[in-house]
Structure 1
Amino acid sequence: MYSFVKATDFFTILFFLATATVAISFNTSELDVLERARASVVEARTRFGSMATVEATNEVARSYYSLGLSDCEKLYDESEARLLNLVVAHENFTVEDVRTWLSGVLANHHTCLDGLDQSRQGDKPLVHSNITVVLGEALAFYKKTRGHLKKTRPYHGPVRPNQSGGMLVSWDPTGSRADFVVAKDGSATHRSISEALAAVSRIGKSRTNRVIIYIKAGVYNEKIEIDRHMKNIMLVGDGMDRTIITNNRNVPDGSTTYGSATFGVSGDGFWSRDMTFENTAGPHKHQAVALRVNSDLSVFYRCSFRGYQDTLFTHSLRQFYRDCHIYGTIDFIFGDAAAVFQNCDIFVRRPMDHQGNMITAQGRDNPHENTGISIQNSRVRASPEFEAVKGQFKSYLGRPWKKYSRTVFLKTDLDGLIDPRGWREWRGDFALSTLYYGEFMNTGSGAGTSRRVSWPGFHVLHGADEASPFTVSRFIQGDSWIPITGVPFSAGV
């Protein structure tokens, strides 16, 4: 069961968002562009917030629809804070920082609308909102003027580099200090991850250094949310198969996709090492996220992400994954972040009998966003239980979730389970001419491109100059912020 606010209320909002268009001249000032973007977000947040207040008084307030509105409130709150930071101190950030944050605000908006569409079970109005227009024009402004604006100081996150240099790799539980320690047997400062994070929250904004939480081996059945105020959190486990955070939230049982995540993180500068994030809902429960990330400058090292459909939600902003394992079936690496995966193992699992597998579903919805999925020097293979039957199912590198979906595989070993066409349509000819899918020097029995799709948006990349825009250095500006973690990475092709 689910409930609605009055249809007139819902469509009043959509009418407002669709009709209040704003034209941004490229002669306008940078501050004007950012102020307009912020004003559009503030107005939408206010209106959606009033809808959520009305819905919360309803007798079925925990309906899909109210959960969608709750997501919207959080997302617009994050967007407003991000844009306010830009308005107040835009000179402190590079053009790529600003483009990243504007892309993140747009991703938040679309996630809100996707959640409401999901809740209305087929009632999906076509919304081309004021926010979409204003943010699209702001992104175009920064793309056009990025060679002219003098911005030279990259954003390193809320903690200065010299406060945490090399810590993610060098930290050792036998000889290093943790701010909080979690152990299920009661032998540490906290029995659960939630308790430790509550302690971090109580410290508030007074802390200036990175907070280290050591999570001892064990299976932690928890639902974790690290909000935007909890920046610079570092989680360290005892190994990807020893420290496991698990849950089973899913869409059919009453969550939004965004809200189904076992572990969600919005605070910038999040680092994690030697852990597993898992959603055990199973393939029959469809969308069930293990990890959702909308943390800028986030790093995951030697971590595992296990699920089926929608395992890893690379929601937004800049993310780096090194030496990780990702398991899933349908769209199991998806979202609208600028995400780079290096030296990772991607395991395709057995889907339900009537299904196929799609590894990626990237969500770029505007041509000026600097987002996409880049998988480099990694391996795609069948999981052990799928190996014997992989020939009975079709498996693809990805499909376009949004109109300007962008994904590349660079120097990656592709198992023969990948269908010769390589990629699959989302719906008919949707996005086939506007997406960007690329393959560069891949190897393995599934890497041949002679029978690949002939879509206008598919590209076989023929040289390093075509592949280099999707590297750590250029795609996520990683050589300015990954070295402080100590995690190894390749800056180029």
Structure 2
Amino acid sequence: MKNSLISSLILALLFLSRVSFSLFCSNQNQDSATIVVDQSGHGQFTKVQQAIDFIPAMNNVWTHILVKPGIYKEKVIVPRNKPCIVLEGHSARDTVIQWADSSEVTRSATFTVNAENFKARNIKFQNTYNENTRRGDLKPIKQAPAFQTTADKVSFYQCAFIGVQDTLSDLQGRHYFESCYIEGAIDFIWGGGQSFYQACTINATAAIQGRLTGYITAQGRNSETDTSGYVFNQCTVVGTGQVYLGRAYMQYSRVVFSKTYLSNIVVPEGWDPWGYAGREQTITYAESQCTGPGADMSKRVKWEKTLSRAELAWLTNVNTFVNQDGWLQKQPF
């Protein structure tokens, strides 16, 4: 206990000496601080939210929160005024942040990030509200996100997102996901984010409760000038039951699957206009060089887009679609 108190005091002095009120993070190889979260008491804190709360407002120091293995049952929020955070666990198998809530979709996420320049690695985010449903209980499925972000310049590496409906609330800003695992049944990647999913595994559990079909995405692009959209590049889509690649959450919804393996769970039609039947011309749903039994496009909806070579090149290049200013390279490794 004494050692933890001394460590906390040292960290406080470190922050106070380095903080300036700017949203720009310090160079990745310079000013940095590390906070250890450990349930056993061998770190500065035993809860992840405690570590977030400790970071000063308008922080501009890249701050590592190192989370030791364990199941952390807590609801965590990173407020908008606390940028420049790297959250790192041991692995997504043994470092879990878990909660159970479905009170309101934009307020019930297990982990919420509202601050820009956030990076997560080797963490599992899980909302267990619908857990009984996954096991066959006939309780109605409700919206229960595992993760929510409304911030720009947010990235994830080797993370897992587990839920049933609205698992990943990818709401706003530019985001990058690499080698992540995302599981759900209904609209389990949804929102108005501008996001690139690289080499991720998408597990659609549409067969729960004997459901006929599920939906992977519900993307919310709302105008021709809106730059948002979801791009899945070199990913893998597996699961149980039958699933649509996406349905239109907004009239200009945009989703692209490129060089992705699609298992036989994908319905032949591929896509659903949802509430925009008859106005599909504004929806941009496209596939390019996908493989697997679910990649057969012979029965796809007639309004699926065939993108030009230039459009496809822009969307499927991480540097042109989400990393225009090189923010990914500026985040710590």
Matches within 5 A, 1:237-386: 237-250=89-102, 255-282=103-130, 283=133, 284-349=140-205, 350-382=207-239, 386=240
Shift of 1:327: 0.3
Shift of 1:343: 0.6
Distance 1:430 1:218, change over 3 A: farther
Mark the structure with the bigger radius of gyration.
1
Q: Secondary structure at the match of 2:272?
A: coil
Shift of 1:434: 1.2
Q: Does the Cα contact within 8 Å between 2:192 and 2:219 map onto a contact in 1?
A: yes
Q: Secondary structure at the match of 1:299?
A: strand
Q: Does the Cα contact within 8 Å between 2:117 and 2:331 map onto a contact in 1?
A: no
Describe the superposition over 1:118-138 as per-residue Cα deviations: whole angstroms up to 9, x where unpaired. xxxxxxxxxxxxxxxxxxxxx
Amino acid at match of 2:236: R
Q: Distance in 1 between matches of 2:148 and 2:100?
A: 14
The counterpart of 2:68, out of the listed 201, 210, 216, is: 216
- Greater helix proportion: 1
Q: CA RMSD in A?
A: 2.0
Describe the superposition over 1:98-141 as per-residue Cα deviations: whole angstroms up to 9, x where unpaired. xxxxxxxxxxxxxxxxxxxxxxxxxxxxxxxxxxxxxxxxxxxx
Q: Does the Cα contact within 8 Å between 2:111 and 2:148 map onto a contact in 1?
A: yes
The counterpart of 1:193, out of the listed 36, 45, 48, is: 48
- Greater strand proportion: 2
Which residue is equivalent to 1:481? 327
Q: Distance in 2 between matches of 1:408 and 1:325?
A: 18
Q: Distance in 2 between matches of 1:476 and 1:239?
A: 26
Shift of 1:185: 1.3
Query: Unaligned stretches of 5+ in structure 1?
Result: 1-156, 168-176, 488-493
Matches within 5 A, 1:37-436: 158-160=24-26, 163-164=27-28, 179-200=34-55, 203-205=56-58, 207-250=59-102, 255-282=103-130, 283=133, 284-349=140-205, 350-382=207-239, 386=240, 390=241, 394-427=242-275, 429=277, 431-436=279-284
Query: Unaligned stretches of 5+ in structure 2?
Result: 1-22, 134-139
Q: Does the Cα contact within 8 Å between 2:37 and 2:67 map onto a contact in 1?
A: yes
Q: Distance in 2 between matches of 1:459 and 1:346?
A: 22
Shift of 1:351: 2.9
* TM-score, scaled to structure 1: 0.58
Q: Secondary structure at the match of 1:427?
A: helix
Distance 1:486 1:212, change over 3 A: closer
Q: Distance in 2 between matches of 1:439 and 1:180?
A: 43
Q: Does the Cα contact within 8 Å between 2:248 and 2:276 map onto a contact in 1?
A: no
Distance 1:322 1:431, change over 3 A: farther
Distance 1:462 1:216, change over 3 A: same
Q: Secondary structure at the match of 2:107?
A: helix
Identity %: 31
Shift of 1:352: 2.5
Q: How many residues align?
A: 301
Q: Secondary structure at the match of 2:319?
A: helix
Describe the superposition over 1:76-117 as per-residue Cα deviations: whole angstroms up to 9, x where unpaired. xxxxxxxxxxxxxxxxxxxxxxxxxxxxxxxxxxxxxxxxxx
Q: Distance in 2 between matches of 1:208 and 1:453?
A: 48
Q: Does the Cα contact within 8 Å between 1:402 and 1:431 map onto a contact in 2?
A: no
Q: Secondary structure at the match of 1:184?
A: coil
Q: Distance in 2 between matches of 1:268 and 1:428?
A: 33
Distance 1:158 1:355, change over 3 A: farther
Q: Does the Cα contact within 8 Å between 2:60 and 2:83 map onto a contact in 1?
A: no
* TM-score, scaled to structure 2: 0.85
Shift of 1:395: 1.1
Which residue is equivalent to 2:318? 472
Distance 1:430 1:314, change over 3 A: farther
Amino acid at match of 1:242: D
Q: Secondary structure at the match of 1:409?
A: strand
Q: Does the Cα contact within 8 Å between 1:166 and 1:483 map onto a contact in 2?
A: no
Q: Distance in 2 between matches of 1:178 and 1:210?
A: 7
Q: Secondary structure at the match of 1:433?
A: helix
Describe the superposition over 1:344-400 as per-residue Cα deviations: whole angstroms up to 9, x where unpaired. 011111332245211000011122111001111111011xxx3xxx3xxx3110100
Q: Distance in 2 between matches of 1:442 and 1:426?
A: 24
Distance 1:479 1:247, change over 3 A: same
Q: Does the Cα contact within 8 Å between 1:449 and 1:460 map onto a contact in 2?
A: no
